[in-house]
Amino acid sequence: MFRDKTVSTFLCLETKQFLTILLLIVLLVAIPQINLTDYPQSTITSKFIVIIYSCIGLFGFSIFWILKSKVTHLSLSNIDLVLVVLVIYIVINRYLFQTDYGFSIRFIELLGLVFLYVIFRTINVKLFYWLLLAIVTSGIIQAIYGNLQLLGYYPSNHLGFKLTGSFFNPGPYAGFLVSVFPIALGLYLFREKVISHVRIDIKNKSFLHLNTIIKHAVRYIPLIGIISIILVIPATQSRASWLAIIISSSLMFEQRYKILNKLFNRLSKLKQVVLETSIILIIGISLLGVYHFKKGSSDGRLFIWKVSTKMINDNPLFGVGFDRFKAHYMNYQANYFSEHGETQEALVADNTYYAFNEFIQFITEQGVFGFIILILILYFIIRTPARKENKYLNIIFKINLLPIGVFAFFSYPMEILPIKLIMVVLLSGLALLDQNKIKRFQTFKINTSIKLALKTSILVGLLLITVFSFNHVNRLDTSFKNWKLAQNNYQYGDYKSAIQEYEEAYPELKNNGEFLMNYGKALSIYKQDKKAIEILEQAKRHLNTTIIETAIGDAYKSSKKYKKAEFAYTKAYNMVPVRFYPVYLLAKLYDESNQKEKAIDIANKVLQKEIKVPSTAIKEIQLEMKKIIN
């Protein structure tokens, strides 16, 4: 149809390639924006449901093309190989080496991201520029959305913060913007190189406007991304994001303009030492300032890391299993305060689901063996070479992994799906650029009848996988919606209807700790004590918090099992000693069970407790304690 062969090649890409790229671009732009309120924890669950449905659809779409394609060899980079080893290790560790693995959104996301990684690896390297522009576009949308929240046009997703974007608090929102910012900066700083790679060699004048559109897109989309993110990121008050932006931006500018390199070449050795010392001092002072900016939060993270080291000591080789940190951590924190009493660290302790350091959490979950594989991945990321024509794209990929790594030292980016999606794009791009890829597999000739039988078997197998996966995710989708309905009924005080909805969702979510915690709490309040104890004991295998322990204490107390109720309330108190509610429940338990001396001792303890955050509830608790004493 087109006379110009080059334009025809560009516009009439192979159908599979064109549609795949289009779907991936839509996915990269859309996933961070999704927040469907029909789901519990909507900012997490709805993104998870949409991307898994998308992966299944993309998988089904790819089946025909997989069978039609004629692969003569399979080229793998070192990054490909170590990532395969890591995924296999995680699966084996989860199902063979651990006693209990439970339900995990993160694990299902991992499987979906592995599939997307394979899809990204089949794409032409020049098309990655369009994927990066899609990521920047997504960041622009989030930055605008965040500014509108600050101005009061849109509500946030957290009662304590005005700014959350499409995430559940400012932390992950800032983490996502930080993951996008260096991509925008890299595309802008190397824009001339990028334009030369993505422009089309056109002779037909009727298509000259395409290059103009491409030039403006490459120049202005990253610039808008840089400005919009810079405007909103200070309002997140995320110290980790500020550090990540400063470090990655400094490296990107250095790679582009070689400022330090030129400066060092002009200075004498003594001046070089003075400059290096000054830089180290500035970094040190900056880190100290960041620490003191929110000292309580910093101390809280340091305490979590301290307790996590005990988990590592107890499970050094294989850890506690993928996504199992939250199942074990609070038990260790309770043991710590049980041994050491209500120390100053109790003021910064709280219910904790993450280690706030992905490297520490990775070791606690995957052990030393998993950490060795992770170190290998980091080594190959740094050492992966690229051809000269792809040098700048290689720089953009590597430096853009750095802010995620910096953010990972102080937060939990591996809990945030859009950040993981960006990581998959960057890692697959690096693997594709690796000039040392080796042909690991050669095809061999087989006769037509065997080939037909083989392809038919593969087709049937892939179709069955697609149908099974779709049905499973569809059931999950329905169960999550039932869970949300149950939460709504609970909030309105309709506990009977809430329990019915929980029962509907139970078959699919019976190994989800948070679901079981909500379900058990509703049963406890509705005085179905026996069932509540059963559900809450199940919950403790996958998650433990003060909420679970106090709820199970209430159920035991209602059943007149005072010893077990005492144990649960005491554990809840040891988990977070600064809280008044568990120790208040303990005093009420002693009073009800006629253990008057214990009741008075605990009541006095409550009255002497240091108040972290004054509230009406605490005043009422103190009044109750005075009544017990009198």
pLDDT in tens, 103-115: 899 999 999 999 9
Of residues 79, 72, 74, the one with CA closest to residue 440: 74
Helix (H, G, I), strand (E, B) or coil at 7: helix
Better-scored residue on pLDDT, 499 or 262: 499
> Directed axis angle between helix 513-525 and helix 495-509, to 10°?
150
Question: Which tokens hold the place of 223?
Answer: 């610039």
Q: Tell me which fold the domain 510-629 belongs to.
A: 1.25.40
What are the contacts of 584-592 at 24+ separation with CB within 8 A?
584/621, 584/624, 584/625, 585/550, 585/553, 585/554, 585/557, 587/624, 587/625, 587/628, 588/624, 588/628, 589/553, 589/557, 589/562, 589/565, 590/566, 591/628, 592/557
What is the rounded average pLDDT of the residues 585-607? 87
Helix (H, G, I), strand (E, B) or coil at 156: coil
Confidence of residue 63 (pLDDT cuts 50, 70, 90): confident
Question: Which tokens hold the place of 483?
Answer: 């869970």
Helix (H, G, I), strand (E, B) or coil at 73: strand
Q: Give the whole-angstrom CA distance, residue 222 versus residue 168.
A: 26
Q: 439: part of which helix (H) or strand (E)?
A: strand 438-442
Instruction: Name the β-bridge partners of 75.
Output: 439
Better-scored residue on pLDDT, 208 or 354: 354
| CA torsion angle 487 493 497 500 (round to 10) | 60
pTM of the full predicted structure? 0.89
Measured at the CA of 242, the angle between CA 241 and CA 244, to 5 degrees, comes to 60
- CA 422, chain centre distance (Å): 11
Q: Give the whole-angstrom CA distance, residue 512 versus residue 123.
A: 36
What are the contacts of 504-511 at 24+ separation with CB within 8 A?
504/479, 505/478, 505/479, 505/480, 507/479, 508/475, 508/476, 508/478, 508/479, 509/103, 509/479, 509/480, 509/483, 510/103, 510/538, 511/102, 511/103, 511/542
Q: Give the whole-angstrom CA distance, residue 324 versus residue 97.
A: 13
Q: Give the whole-angstrom CA distance, residue 49 versus residue 371.
A: 29
Task: Give the model's pLDDT for residue 264.
Answer: 66
Task: Give the model's pLDDT for residue 296.
Answer: 64
What is the rounded average pLDDT of the residues 581-587? 89
Q: Give the whole-angstrom CA distance, residue 15 versus residue 188.
A: 30
- CA 278, chain centre distance (Å): 36
Name the percent of the chain in helix, strand, coil, to the closest 5. 75, 0, 20
Confidence of residue 463 (pLDDT cuts 50, 70, 90): confident
Confidence of residue 420 (pLDDT cuts 50, 70, 90): very high
Burial class (CB in 10 A: 0-12, 13-18, 19+), 483: buried
Q: Give the whole-angstrom CA distance, residue 332 versus residue 359.
A: 19
Q: Give the whole-angstrom CA distance, residue 417 versus residue 33.
A: 11
Cβ atoms of 553 and 569 within 8 Å: the answer is: yes
Confidence of residue 290 (pLDDT cuts 50, 70, 90): low
Task: Give the model's pLDDT for residue 136.
Answer: 95
What is the rounded average pLDDT of the residues 460-486? 90
What is the rounded average pLDDT of the residues 55-73? 71
Instruction: Name the β-bridge partners of 442.
Output: 73
pLDDT at 29 over 50: yes
pLDDT at 518 over 60: yes
pLDDT, tens digit, for every residue of 230-250?
999 998 888 888 888 888 888
Better-scored residue on pLDDT, 212 or 511: 511
pLDDT at 289 over 90: no
pLDDT, tens digit, for every residue of 120-176?
988 888 888 899 999 999 999 999 999 999 988 888 888 888 899 999 989 899 999
pLDDT, tens digit, for every residue of 65-105?
666 666 555 678 889 999 999 999 999 999 998 888 888 99
Question: Which tokens hold the place of 452?
Answer: 């037909």
Beta strands in 105-145 (DSSP E): none
pLDDT, tens digit, for every residue of 614-626?
778 888 888 888 8
Listed in sequence order, the residues at least 6 apart from 465 whose beta carbon sits closer than 8 Å to its beta carbon are 59
Q: Pick left, alpha or beta for residue 123 (phi over 0 → left; psi -120 to 50 → alpha; otherwise beta).
A: beta
Helix (H, G, I), strand (E, B) or coil at 315: coil
How far the first Cα of the chain sits from its last, in Å, is: 95
pLDDT, tens digit, for every residue of 370-414?
999 999 999 999 888 878 778 888 888 999 898 898 889 888 999
Confidence of residue 345 (pLDDT cuts 50, 70, 90): confident
Task: Give the model's pLDDT for residue 125.
Answer: 84
pLDDT at 467 over 90: no
Confidence of residue 440 (pLDDT cuts 50, 70, 90): low
Q: Which amino acid is at 117?
A: Y
Task: Give the model's pLDDT for residue 35.
Answer: 93
Q: What's the mean pLDDT when you consider all of the chain?
A: 85
Task: Give the model's pLDDT for residue 1.
Answer: 39
Burial class (CB in 10 A: 0-12, 13-18, 19+), 152: exposed
Confidence of residue 286 (pLDDT cuts 50, 70, 90): low
What is the percent of the chain where pLDDT is above 70?
86
List the single range of 28-42, 391-405, 429-443 with lowest mean pLDDT. 429-443
Helix (H, G, I), strand (E, B) or coil at 368: helix
Task: Give the model's pLDDT for residue 70.
Answer: 60
Confidence of residue 608 (pLDDT cuts 50, 70, 90): confident
Listed in sequence order, the residues at least 6 apart from 249 whose beta carbon sits closer than 8 Å to its beta carbon are 181, 182, 185
Hey, where are the domains in the chain? Answer: 510-629
CA distances from 63 to 57, 127, 209, 462, 503 (A): 10, 22, 36, 7, 37
Q: Give the whole-angstrom CA distance, residue 458 versus residue 69.
A: 13
Of residues 97, 183, 98, 110, the one with CA closest to residue 140: 183
pLDDT, tens digit, for every residue of 523-549?
999 989 999 999 999 999 999 999 999
Task: Give the model's pLDDT for residue 275.
Answer: 64
> Directed axis angle between helix 105-121 and helix 15-30, to 10°?
140
What is the rounded average pLDDT of the residues 296-323? 89
Measured at the CA of 53, the angle between CA 47 and CA 56, to 5 degrees, comes to 140
Task: Give the model's pLDDT for residue 361.
Answer: 94
Q: Give the whole-angstrom CA distance, residue 253 versus residue 189.
A: 8
The total number of residues shown for the chain amounts to 630
